[in-house]
Amino acid sequence: MSSGYGVSLAELRRHVAARPTWRCRVCAAPWPCQPAKLCLRAEYARDRVGLAIYLCVLMHDAIADRLRTRPEEVDPADYFARFIGWTRH
C-alpha cells in the first residue's frame, strides 16, 4: 500500500518511538519524525480528530517519561508543537 508520498506505508511504519527518549528507532530524530508524520497522516487521513487524540495520549506519555528522567527539560509548548501542532495543517 502506498502512502501517497512515493514511499510505502510499510517503510514509514518502521519509524516508531524508542522510550523513554522518544527518538525514532530508525533515524534517531525526535519522534514523531518526518516519516512517522507522513505515515500518521496517511493512516488518519479521514480522522484528523482521532489523530490529534492519539497524539495527545502519546504526548502525555512522552512528558511523563521526560519528567522521570530529566524534569528540567520539559517545555509544554515544545511538546505541543512536536506532537500536536503539525496536525492542524
Instruction: Convert the pLDDT of each residue in 33-45 to its tens digit.
Output: 999 999 999 999 9
Instruction: Convert the pLDDT of each residue in 46-89 to its tens digit.
Output: 999 999 999 999 999 999 999 999 999 999 999 999 999 999 86
pLDDT at 9 over 80: no
Give dist(CA 63, CA 61) in Å, integer: 5
Nearest to 14 by CA among 5, 4, 32: 32
The label of the residue with cell 482521532 reads 50
Query: What DSSP element (H or E) covers 36?
Result: helix 34-43
